[in-house]
Amino acid sequence: MSTSQLPPPSNFIRTIISEDLENGRREQVITRFPPEPNGYLHIGHAKSFSLNFGLAEDFSGQCHLRFDDTNPVKEEDEYVEAIKEDVSWLGFDWGDHLYFASDYFDQLYLWAVQLIKAGKAYVDSQTVEQMRETRGTLTQAGVDSPFRNRTIKENLELFEKMKNGDFPDGTHILRAKIDMSSPNMNLRDPAMYRILHAHHHRTGDKWCIYPMYDFAHGQGDSIEGVTYSICTLEFEDHRPLYEWFIKELGIFAPQQIEFARLNLSYTVMSKRKLLQLVNDKHVSGWDDPRMPTLVGMRRRGYPPEAIRMFCERIGVGKGASWIDLSVLEECVREQLNKSSLRRQAVLNPLKVTISNYPADKVEELDAPNHPQQPELGTRKLPFSHELYIDRDDFMEEPPKKFFRLGPGREVRLRNGYIIKCDEVIKDENGEVIELKCSADLDTLGKNPVGRKVKGIIHWVSASQAKKVGVRLYDRLFKEENPDKAANYLDALNPESVKVSTALVEPSLLNAEPGTTFQFERVGYFTVDSKDSQPGKPVFNRTVTLRDTWAKLK
Ligand code: ATP
Ligand code: MG
C-alpha cells in the first residue's frame, strides 16, 4: 500500500454538475447524506457528507439529511441524535430537510403493490438456502423460483397476509421479477420486502414487513427530488436496479454518481469492526479519543475546521484511494497552530535550582498567549528559584547539535531568563536528580551582550506548578493496513495510550473542557470533556508537534 498522490482540489462531480446546469439538463442541485442509524459516523462519512453539503453550498442548492432506517434490528435513536450532532459539528445545516426512509413506508408499500399488479414482483416462498443456491454465480445463471409465476391475485393476497402478520419471519419474501440470468447479480430477482416481527425505532410495531435497503434508497431520493444521488463505488452495481425500480414505477429519476470511499492508513472504518472494538473493550467507547469516529476526534480535540480541510484536500475521485493518516494529522496541526493558546507543561520533570535567585521571591513574568497573534494577549507566568524542566532537555555529554542544557552550557528559558548549568547532582545510582544553575538576570526579553544562546527550553516554577493527568494518545493500530493482518485485532498498537502526569502552569487548572492548548515544544493537548472535574483537568494529547511516525518508516 502506498500513499496515493493527492488529486487536485476540484472534483469530477463538481464538473458534471456545472455542465448539467450550463446545458440546462438540471435546474437545481439537491443532494443528500443518507446514513443508516446503526453506528456513529467516522471520518469516511465526513468525506461523504462534506461532499454532499459542500456541493449544495457551491451551487446554492440544498442538502438533505436522510436516515435510511430500513433495518429495525440494528437501528436506534441514540445513533440518530449522534449523527445529527456530528453533521452540525462540522458546520453543515440541513435546514428543514430532515427525513427518514421510514416516513416513506406507506408509499413504499403502495409501490410494492403497484409492481405486483404490473406483474413485476412476486412472493417467493423458498427457504433462504434454496434462494441462495438458485441465485447462481458470477459465471453461472440463476434458476427461476418455482413460485415465480404465481398469479397476480395470489401474490396480492400473500403480500397482504405478510403485512398483516400472518406468517413468521423468513417464510416468504417479495421479490422483483427481473432476470435470473442477468450478469448483474443485483438484477436476479432481488428481494424487496421481508417479514420481520421487530420493533422499529420510529414506526414502532406498525409494520412486520420491512422494505429492503435497495427498494427504499433510490425511491427515497426520488420522493425528495434529489437531483444527484452521490454514493460510494460499491453502489455502482446497484444503479441498474435503482433505475429499474424508478422506471417501472414511473417516478422522478435522480442521477447517481459514484466516488471512491476514503481509506485511511492505521485505521479501520467498518462499522462492524468499530462496534467490536467498543463491545470487546479495546477502547473505552465510540468516543474514545483513538477512534476514527467524529465523536472520538471531537473528544481528542480535532477542530472541525481541520476535518473539513482534510476532506477538501484529499479530493474526490473514482480510483480506490488510500490516504495516509499523517495527512489528517497535518491538517489538525495547521489548524491548532493558528487557534490554540500556548502554555508550558513539563511531562518528565528534572529539578533545577537557580542559585542566584532569592529563595523567597516569586516573579510574575508576562508570557504571550500566542507568539504570532499578539491580540490574544498575555498571561502571568510565575518564576522562582526552583523550577522543573524536561529531562530530555538536559544531557550530561551532549553531542554537537544539541543546543539545550549541559554542564557549563547556557540555554534560554522560554519567556524567561537565560540560565547556565553550574553543577549536576546525582543520586547513589548515578542518576541525575537536580541541576544547579545561575540565571543571567539581565536577559529578560533581551539578548545577552557578547554571546549567542541558541537553545530555548520550556519549564515551570516548582512551587506554583500543578500536577494534572495526561493521556498520551498514539495511533490505535500499528499496521498501515490493519485489515492485512490475519485478524485486524492483532494489528492494534499496544502503546496507543500512555497514562501519565504533567506539571503545568497554574492557570491550566481551570481550563474549560474541550479547550486545546499547545504545550510549547511538547504537543497539542485538549481538556477531556468526560473525565475532567472542576479544578482537576485531564489532558488528552490531540497530536504531537511533528510527525513522529515519518522517521520510523
Ligand atoms: P454499512 O452500510 O456497512 O452499515 P456504511 O459505512 O456504508 O456502513 P452508511 O450509514 O450506509 O454506512 O453510510 C452513509 C454514507 O456514507 C453512504 O453514502 C456511504 O457510501 C458513505 N460512506 C461510508 N463510508 C465511507 C467512506 N469510507 N468514505 C466515503 N464515504 C463513505
Ligand atoms: Mg451503507
* Radius of gyration for the chain, computed over Cα atoms and rounded to the nearest angstrom: 31
Contact criterion met (CB below 8 Å) for 193 and 210: yes
262 lines ligand 1 (CB under 6 A): yes
The fold of 271-341+468-552 is: Ribosomal Protein L25; Chain P (2.40.240)
Residue of 148, 271, 351, 436 with catalytic role: 271
The domain 3-261 belongs to what CATH superfamily?
Answer: HUPs (3.40.50.620)
CB neighbourhood size of 139 (10 A): 6
d(CA 416, CA 349): 18
| Interval 379-391: pLDDT, tens | 999 999 999 999 9
Give 196 Cα–ligand 1 centroid separation in angstroms. Answer: 24
For residue 36, the ligand closest to its alpha carbon is: 1
Contact criterion met (CB below 8 Å) for 512 and 301: no
Architecture label for domain 345-457? Beta Barrel (2.40)
Contact criterion met (CB below 8 Å) for 9 and 310: no
Provide the 8-state DSSP code for 255: E
d(CA 5, CA 315): 10
Contact criterion met (CB below 8 Å) for 233 and 318: yes
Angle between helices 12-23 and 43-58 (to 10 degrees): 30
Candidates 92, 66, 90, 64; CA nearest to 80 is 66
Same fold, 271-341+468-552 and 345-457: yes
φ, ψ of residue 236 in degrees (nearest 5): -55, -45
Residue 361: active-site member: no
d(CA 164, CA 229): 33
Residue 188: active-site member: no
Residue by residue, pLDDT tens for the chain (553 residues) are: 334 444 445 789 999 999 999 999 999 999 999 999 999 999 999 999 999 999 999 999 999 999 999 999 987 899 999 999 999 999 999 999 999 999 999 999 999 999 999 999 999 999 999 999 999 999 999 999 999 999 999 999 999 999 999 999 999 999 999 999 999 999 999 999 999 999 999 999 999 999 999 999 999 999 999 999 999 999 999 999 999 999 999 999 999 999 999 999 999 999 999 999 999 999 999 999 999 999 999 999 999 999 999 999 999 999 877 899 999 999 999 999 999 999 999 999 999 999 999 999 999 999 999 999 999 999 999 999 999 999 999 999 999 889 999 999 999 999 999 999 999 999 999 999 999 999 999 999 999 989 999 999 999 999 999 999 999 999 999 999 999 989 999 999 999 999 999 999 999 999 999 999 999 999 999 999 999 999 999 999 999 998 877 655 4
State residue 549's pLDDT score: 72
HSE-CB at 72 with a 13 A cutoff on CA atoms is 20
State residue 552's pLDDT score: 52
The Cα-based distances of 518 to 336, 527, 541 in angstroms read 8, 11, 10
Which pTM value belongs to this model?
A: 0.93
Q: Which residues pair with 65 in a beta bridge?
A: 33, 98
State residue 9's pLDDT score: 54
Residue 479: active-site member: no
How is the chain split into domains, by residue range? 3-261, 271-341+468-552, 345-457
DSSP run (H or E) holding 189: none
Q: Amino acid identity of 282?
A: H
State residue 485's pLDDT score: 87
Give 36 Cα–ligand 2 centroid separation in angstroms. Answer: 7
Give 542 Cα–ligand 2 centroid separation in angstroms. Answer: 29
φ, ψ of residue 134 in degrees (nearest 5): -90, 5
State residue 1's pLDDT score: 35
135 lines ligand 1 (CB under 6 A): no
Residue of 84, 135, 161, 261 with catalytic role: 261
273 lines ligand 1 (CB under 6 A): no
Taking CA atoms only, the protein residue closest to ligand 1 atom 16 is 45
406 lines ligand 1 (CB under 6 A): no
Give 549 Cα–ligand 1 centroid separation in angstroms. Answer: 28
